[in-house]
Structure 1
Amino acid sequence: MLTGKRPTDEMFKDNQNLHQFAKTLFPERVLEIIDHRLLSEEIENVSHDEYDNKMRSRMHESLVSLVRIGVLCSVESPKERMDMKDVVIELHGVRDFILSVEKY
């Protein structure tokens, strides 16, 4: 959902898959993983004042968290995947973290 890519995308050949794609780029190149259509123009074009820098940093941290959850949920072995209760807790944490930007 975050990548905008299908598991059957042409780029996934020779035993490469969506999970490996995200895991390989994570976390240093998280913006290369994210489908840029998900990023609003406001986020991509924010100015460089203090508030916007805080907002950009929080958005980046949130994207890292979301991709980390996605990678943990897409491990090949179902037994090694993140428990859904923990996924919900983490997603609520990301939501709360994003919404707290407005308090600054």
Structure 2
Amino acid sequence: MKKETIQPEELKKAMAESWSVKSSSKWSRENPAKGQCGVTALVVNDLLGGEIKKTKLAEGWHFYNFISGKRYDFTASQFSENITYTYVPSNREEAFSDTNAEQYCCLKQKVWTVLRW
């Protein structure tokens, strides 16, 4: 699969298969998306471009992607309540503050492996 042909739904599936305790210390089998928002937004941005946005929730900032006028929040399943998105502009630096280099590299490498790149 070439990077130019990746579809958001394919990437969403690859992300879900790639999350682990190595990409977020909050990961669990019961809630694999927990704590994955910053690192996921970064890897999605690497592959699909677009913008990184954030919304303030009770637990803190929640990061997601905005690509070609559409929201992509691959980690929304970590929350039991519905999210009221505010689309606050963000960037890679802010999203990176929610993770670290080891978690980012681990998730990126795992996603690449799942996508067979």
Structure with greater strand share of residues: 2
Structure with greater helix share of residues: 1
Q: TM-score, normalized by length of structure 1?
A: 0.34
Q: TM-score, normalized by length of structure 2?
A: 0.31
Say which structure, 1 or 2, has more relative contact order (CA 8 Å, 6+ apart): 2
